[in-house]
Structure 1
Amino acid sequence: MNETILVLGASGQIGTELTEKLRSVYGKKQVIASDIRGGNAAIMASGPFEIIDATDKETILKTVKKYKVTQVYLLAAMLSATAEKYPQKAWNLNMNSLLAVLDLAKENHIKQVYWPSSIAVFGPTTPKENTPQKTIMEPSTVYGISKLSGEFWCNYYHKKYGVDVRSLRFPGIISWKSKPGGGTTDYAVDIYFKALEDGNFNCFLSENTRLPMMYMDDAVNATIQLMQAKSEAIKVRTSYNLAAIDFTPKEIFEEIKKHVPDFTITYNPDFRQQIADSWPSNINDSEARKDWNWKHQFDLAAITKDILINLKK
């Protein structure tokens, strides 16, 4: 457990909560949070914080040397819906940040790298039901293209240089602590805020669009569990399929209505519908469950109850 961890992109939706959890596990001084600008006040106050552009290898290296960093969690990325608006920017951020960190590991400045992939690596030709670990992957979004390329870079650096890099293909992540960050599955976060603030929700996906989802607590726990597993247990060096639950906008709406009876919803699909239609409905993550004993804990009812209790506070 004698690790010193640098989190790049610590102010994002996952970064904020992962940093909190890592600090509770490894100690506040052992986890250096960083982002391209100042972020969450609690994260900046509870331990070291550095301003770092995740594509700037030299600044990352200075920080690694300053704190004697052993692990880098690279979370900086431009997400699916935003990336479609700024394709070149998204590619540069998503690729150059990964190559910078993989190079630092290849040069033995750090021991371990964590980098999240996404269900966006799949595409319209991928089997939609029970999507297997190895399958057809023809992503149709800039985000998906960058994540699929990144998976192969991770595998290449592991095979060629022995870099201990680990990755998870995240489904949609649901959380109440930070607002959404420009992803296609963001409706499943925003809907809870709107249920309590406005009493109605305008959904940008159609009512029966089924997508794989996961509660933030499960996503954070999976990430740390993967990084703590013995190296020989990690058999997949592209990225592991990761799953918990799947649902449609109609199903999440009906679950919220049990707690907020007057809640209403309208459906106005926009450009994000096309992105969602290219992704799987549910994922087979049996390899993660077999290799390092992954288990999720939250279903839709438990997620809804927990979020609404916390938001009301």
Structure 2
Amino acid sequence: MKILVTGAGGQLGTVLTTSLKEKYGKNAVIASDIVKIDGYEGIFELLDATDEASLTKIVAAHNVTEIYHLAAILSANGEKNPIQTWDVNLKSLFNVLQVSVNQKIEKVFFPSSIAVYGPTAPKIDTKQDAYLDPTTVYGISKAAGEHWAQYYFLRYGLDVRSIRYPGVVGYQSLPGGGTTDYAVDIYHKAINNEDFTCYLREDACLPMIYIEDAIRATLEIMEAPKSQIKVRTSYNLAGVSFTPKEITASILKWYPDFKVVYTPDFRQNIADSWPASINDNPARKDWNWKPNYDLEAMTKEMITQLQKQE
């Protein structure tokens, strides 16, 4: 097994690459990104995933058998340059899918997002087959990507697997330009005894997931027998839903003097178009998904781990 990870320097990629090396061995994983990852230990390749020739060269040179394609521009940053976001997100995915067919890759992982949902979808307990009408270019690119993933499975038999991540909360890296990233930054401000300015309303409820659950879900869907993967667009994935007010309350148990000010900006409009809670019954049924972390457990782990870094 030889695994290529694109976007390995991002919030999810950093932790996933480490987990893959721990599971399959350091020499089985090729990390790649558009810039060098400082201090990275293991096999690393500079790669712009929008360059098909470069991707092909790396896949062939390392005899890659699986690709985890994480390279993308996220929701909030994506709205600053919509055309670039569309080009990067879709061109890199097309390259991964086509190179995988040409090079006979065994499995591909493509991360989707709750951003594929829009105002038409029910806000509460949003189901797997709810209508997709995304209002951000990031969400549009992910919705399109889901259908291309399914197309390559149906047309070429390419084993593409995908999950729709909620907001991912982790201590291993700083926020990367997503609408849900306030739920990472808020912990950093708390342990540094700084006030926090939140760009969402205090009652803006969004689906979230702790990084350990997100990584475990990714490994579990990729390890599941092919016959168990019934959804070939992307599986809903639920962790825990909460508001800025609720996450603040959980932090106040650790830092009673912590102060939060709410000044909603354009990211509130994005949040308003997304679900408040997700129904992930197909993932639970097909490959036995179940989250381990609720809000209190997540806060305890985030604060404990960040304190160690001080």
TM-score, scaled relative to structure 2:
0.98
Question: 1:199, 1:262 within 8 Å by CA — same for their partners in 2?
Answer: no
1:7 alignment partner, SS class: strand
* Match of residue 225 from structure 1: 220
* Match of residue 21 from structure 2: 23
Q: Deviations over 1:175-210 (max 9, x none)?
A: 011001000000000000001114311000000000
Tell me if 1:236 matches 2:221: no
* Match of residue 147 from structure 2: 152
Work out the CA distance in 2 between the residues paired with 1:136 and 1:254. 33
Deviation of the 1:40 alpha carbon: 4.2
When structure 1 is superposed on structure 2, of 196-205 and 237-246 the one drifting more is: 196-205
Tell me if 1:260 matches 2:255: yes
For residues 76-115 of structure 1, what are the structure 2 equivalents within 5 Å? 76-115=71-110
Question: 1:240, 1:287 within 8 Å by CA — same for their partners in 2?
Answer: yes
* Match of residue 6 from structure 2: 8
Question: 1:64, 1:109 within 8 Å by CA — same for their partners in 2?
Answer: no
Work out the CA distance in 1 between the residues paired with 2:131 and 2:59. 38
* Match of residue 265 from structure 2: 270
Give the share of equivalent positions with the same residue, in percent.
54
Work out the CA distance in 1 between the residues paired with 2:204 and 2:56. 43
* Match of residue 312 from structure 1: 307
In structure 2, give the amino acid aligned to 1:20. T
For residues 1-313 of structure 1, what are the structure 2 equivalents within 5 Å? 3-41=1-39, 44-45=40-41, 47-313=42-308
Q: Deviations over 1:196-241 (max 9, x none)?
A: 1143110000000000000000000100110011111000000000
Pairs aligned (count): 308
Work out the CA distance in 2 between the residues paired with 1:209 and 1:136. 21
Deviation of the 1:105 alpha carbon: 1.9
Question: 2:108, 2:161 within 8 Å by CA — same for their partners in 1?
Answer: yes
Structure 1 residues 81, 48: closer, same or farther in 2, change over 3 A?
A: same
Work out the CA distance in 1 between the residues paired with 2:14 and 2:288. 25
In structure 2, give the amino acid aligned to 1:53. D
5+ residue gaps, structure 2: none
Work out the CA distance in 2 between the residues paired with 1:97 and 1:271. 27
- Quote the RMSD (CA, aligned, Å): 0.8
